[in-house]
Amino acid sequence: MSQIGVFPASGGLGSSIVNHLLTLVPASQLTLIARKPEGLSHEADAGATIRHADYDNLSTLDHAFDNVDVLMLISYPSFEIEHRINAHQKAIIAAQKSGVKHIFYSSLGFAGDYTDKSVAHVMGAHLASEKFLSQLEGPMTYTSVREGLYSESFPIYTSWFDLQAPSDEIAIPHDGSGPGVSWVKKDELGEATAKLVAKYTTATTEGNAAEFPYVNKIVLLTGPREWSLKETVEVLGRAVGKDVRIRPVSVDEYVTLPHEGRHTYHGVDLSREWATAWEAIRLGETAAVTPTLRELLGREPEDYETTIRGLL
């Protein structure tokens, strides 16, 4: 059987993918690679191979993917561009040197319906990494999985709205109207992504790789419908039982609001760069809806409001 690697195998999406893969393939078929491998003791006891590697210590990637046939590469968790690109490229090159045959890369659901352009700073490294994968020489193939915006990530887009201590207004550089977001539950993305990896692995093991439709392609996973930011905030208000409204502000004002370092990476405040996400939403980049998630899950994806109420 082909060996499946997951890196990083911890964190929100990584843990979800691993948990679902364990229901689809034997643990002995998994090589789980993480910055803190001691956190994977349960998976090790089940029979998975556990290794250490760290995006922030690039030398650890050199042999991290040895004996892995199919690699689920989860993107570096920040929205810096150059640092992320360098980390991704180093991992991809290391995988290629180790003989990995196919990479699944976790991209993001900006850039509209399969386009290669985005005004969102957060999408910059993903587009560059997708391009890098598409231009690789040699036999290694790839699938870029554009993961829709997590329903659970709403605080990033609502000026850190807190369900436990809700405010009356949300100050963002957007008035809430126009195209919105096809919110999607994170664990359902993990489940669907795991099923993609398992489907590819099974197809290649059985000699039917041509039946997998996403070789050297992008696949977009979204929620079942689009929610405008106004509707998004109304859901938050209903969940906490109070009237919550959007207060549109300029980008200049947004960057002066207290963000408690949440937009700071490696000592650099990227609040202004983050504000480009709302421009991308305004342009419809996150409004696309595809049936792929539903098809992979074999059921209707969970509604955004249901997910939010489940967080209370």
Per-residue pLDDT of 13-71, as tens digits, reads: 999 999 999 999 999 999 999 999 999 999 999 999 999 999 999 999 999 999 999 99
The pLDDT score that the predictor gives to residue 41 is 96
177 pLDDT more than 90: yes
Give yes or no: residues 191 and 72 share one domain. yes
- Residues 6+ positions from 237 with CB-CB distance below 8 Å: 166, 243, 244
Domain extent for 258: 155-178+224-287+302-310
Q: How many residues does the chain have?
A: 312
In this structure, the answer to whether residues 108 and 210 fall within a common structural domain is yes
β-pairing, 245-248 vs 169-172, is: parallel
Residue 78: is its pLDDT beyond 90? no
Residues 261 and 138 in one domain: no
Tell me the three state secondary structure of residue 25: coil
- What count of other Cβ atoms lies within 10 Å of the Cβ of residue 144? 25
User: For the whole prediction, is pTM greater than 0.85?
Assistant: yes
Q: Which residue has the tokens 């997910």?
A: 307
For the cut 90, the answer to whether the pLDDT of residue 129 exceeds it is yes
What does the pLDDT read at residue 211?
Answer: 85
Looking up residue 266, the CATH number of its domain turns out to be: 3.90.25.10
Q: How many domains does the chain have?
A: 2
In whole angstroms, what is the distance from residue 249 CA to residue 190 CA? 34
Residue 82 forms part of a structural domain? yes
